[in-house]
């Protein structure tokens, strides 16, 4: 099979094409013919050796994808616990051992695209128990990004945020998780505020249903702008993708009893300690870090996506051979939503 490997991890130029024998499933495993994959910000970090420990140069990257089941291991065929069968289209979360229940740090040991080979190949091997079948009503493009970015947004907004109609959800930026958060919040009847560095991206978010639009370059004190635009109340749920560099303003932007769900560190390194840390107590805030989600959450998301006709935003699709260009497009920051690679 054809694939890409992460190589020396000195940047996206380290990505190299390779060929391997087609994989054979072991006990409990499934082989999928990859139909499409999506990039996430952590894929850029992996390529530069900045996502934990350096990985073997032969590691196949990407944690988001959809494939068709073409083989099942001998312990799975005919009695897969998820009802998966040959010919099904399926996706999975990248923490493939996290089937249900509470998070455990042990899930990091079996992480697709990091500790296990990922989706940037013609075939992928995953535990069959991790797979979620994709209904015929969901196209590849509608399902391909649900397993990582979509699942992260689902946990942030639905599981941890406990979103309800009338809430105000604040999403930082217009990347994959933020756009999914916007869409999921609107499906639940919530209002959405979103920040971006460009008016063009904000206009796109408005067309998706965003109610409050803040250009953080024009309004460096974007938290104050959010509070003013919400009538002094603030956001009930903050999908915090910026990290320490934005956390102080997110605390300011949060409403009393708000939930701040911390996901990443896209805004870089903070230049000061949190001057308003006491507001966490004063406003009775909940700060919660999350890492994607489990299979049960993903199955619920797939069901919701099919029932509510959720259409994820795919900024641009690249051919498999053009995977390096897909990485470069993600790195440019010009995208809105997801960058996809089609087989």
- pLDDT, tens digit (0-9, with 9 covering 90-100), for 27-67: 999 999 999 999 999 999 999 999 999 999 999 999 999 99
pLDDT of 79 higher than 80: no
Which pLDDT does position 242 carry in this prediction? 86
Which pLDDT does position 265 carry in this prediction? 57
Which pLDDT does position 272 carry in this prediction? 61
pLDDT of 205 higher than 90: yes
Phi, psi of 88 (to 5 degrees): -70, 145
Lowest mean pLDDT among 38-47, 75-84, 184-193: 75-84
Which pLDDT does position 82 carry in this prediction? 67
Which pLDDT does position 276 carry in this prediction? 83
Of the pLDDT bands very low, low, confident and very high (cuts 50, 70, 90), residue 83 is: confident
Helices 176-187 and 199-208: angle between axes, nearest 10 degrees: 30
Of 212, 213, 178, 209, whose CA–CA distance to 198 is shortest? 213
Rounded to whole angstroms, the Cα distance separating 183 from 176 reads: 11
Q: What is the DSSP string of 212-252?
A: EEEETTT-S-HHHHHHHHTTT--EEEEEE-S-HHHHHHHHH
Of the pLDDT bands very low, low, confident and very high (cuts 50, 70, 90), residue 264 is: low
Of the pLDDT bands very low, low, confident and very high (cuts 50, 70, 90), residue 271 is: low
Rounded to whole angstroms, the Cα distance separating 246 from 229 reads: 19
Domains of the chain (ranges, CATH numbers): 2-145+312-342 (3.90.180.10), 150-289 (3.40.50.720)
Which pLDDT does position 81 carry in this prediction? 52
Average pLDDT on 103-126 reads 97
Of 149, 161, 205, whose CA–CA distance to 336 is shortest? 205
The model's pLDDT over 214-257, given as tens digits with 9 standing for 90+, comes to 999 999 999 999 999 999 999 999 999 988 889 999 999 999 99
pLDDT of 100 higher than 90: yes
Which pLDDT does position 220 carry in this prediction? 95
Mean pLDDT of the chain: 94
Question: 173: which 2 tokens?
Answer: 């930026």
The model's pLDDT over 277-313, given as tens digits with 9 standing for 90+, comes to 889 889 999 999 999 999 999 999 999 999 998 999 9
Report, in this order, helix, strand and coil percent for the chain, each rounded to 5: 30, 25, 45
Which pLDDT does position 151 carry in this prediction? 97
Lowest mean pLDDT among 50-54, 78-82, 121-125, 230-234: 78-82
pLDDT of 13 higher than 70: yes
Average pLDDT on 15-30 reads 96
Which pLDDT does position 169 carry in this prediction? 98
Of the pLDDT bands very low, low, confident and very high (cuts 50, 70, 90), residue 273 is: low
Cβ atoms of residues 258 and 227 within 8 Å: no
């Amino acid at each position: 099979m054809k694939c890409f490997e992460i190589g020396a991890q000195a940047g996206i130029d380290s990505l190299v094409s390779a060929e391997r024998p087609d994989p054979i499933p072991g006990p409990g495993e499934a082989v999928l013919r990859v139909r499409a994959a999506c990039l996430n910000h952590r894929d850029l970090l992996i390529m530069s050796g900045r996502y934990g420990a350096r990985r073997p140069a032969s590691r196949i990257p990407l944690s988001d994808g959809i494939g068709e089941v073409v083989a099942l291991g001998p312990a799975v065929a005919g009695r897969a616990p998820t009802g998966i069968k040959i010919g099904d289209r399926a996706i999975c979360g990248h923490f493939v051992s996290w089937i249900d229940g509470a998070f455990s740090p042990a899930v990091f040991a079996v992480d697709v695209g990091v500790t296990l080979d990922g989706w940037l190949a013609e075939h992928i091997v995953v535990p069959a128990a991790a797979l979620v079948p994709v209904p015929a009503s969901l196209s590849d493009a509608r399902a391909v990004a649900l397993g990582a970015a979509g699942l992260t947004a689902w946990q942030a907004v639905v599981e941890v945020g406990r979103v309800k109609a009338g809430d105000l959800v604040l999403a930082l930026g217009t990347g994959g998780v933020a756009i999914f958060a916007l869409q999921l919040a609107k499906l639940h009847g919530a209002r959405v505020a979103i920040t971006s560095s460009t008016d063009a991206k904000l206009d796109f978010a408005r067309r998706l249903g965003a109610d409050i639009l803040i250009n953080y370059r024009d309004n460096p004190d974007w938290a104050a702008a959010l509070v003013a635009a919400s009538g002094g109340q603030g956001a009930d749920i903050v999908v915090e993708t910026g990290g320490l560099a934005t956390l102080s303003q997110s605390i300011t932007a949060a409403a009393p009893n708000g939930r701040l769900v911390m996901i990443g560190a896209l805004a870089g390194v903070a230049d000061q300690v949190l001057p308003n840390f006491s507001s966490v107590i004063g406003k009775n805030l909940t700060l919660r870090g999350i890492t994607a989600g489990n299979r049960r959450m993903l199955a619920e998301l797939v069901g919701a996506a099919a029932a509510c006709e959720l259409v994820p935003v795919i900024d641009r699709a690249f051919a498999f051979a053009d995977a390096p260009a897909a990485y470069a497009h993600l790195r440019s920051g010009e995208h809105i939503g997801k960058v996809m690679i089609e087989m």
